[in-house]
Amino acid sequence: METSTQPVESSPQQDVAAMPGAAMLKSRDLFGYAKSVKIEHDGKIYELRLTRLNKLILTA
């Protein structure tokens, strides 16, 4: 008898729910109509950008 397993995908909400102290933000709420946002962390400024392929890139 042959058995196969299918990968089980977890949703981002399940992943965040499993992480104590994690916050969930919608990118739409973070970006609004902008293509990038500046984030200050520990005295440094980072830029979170939305690409043409709808991916996120974080740079220092």
Amino acid at 52: R
Residue 12 lies in a domain: no
Do the domain assignments include residue 5? no
Is 40's pLDDT higher than 90? Answer: yes
Domain holding 43, by residue range, is: 26-60
pTM of the model: 0.63
On whether residue 30 sits in a domain, the answer given is yes
Q: How many domains does the chain have?
A: 1
Examine residue 18 and state whether it is found in any structural domain, yes or no. Answer: no
The CATH number covering residue 58 comes to 2.10.70.10
Residue 15 in any domain: the answer is no
Condensed to tens digits (0 to 9), the pLDDT of residues 45-58 reads 999 999 999 999 99
The sign one gets for the Cα dihedral 9, 26, 44, 60 is positive
Asked if pLDDT for residue 16 goes beyond 90, the answer is: no
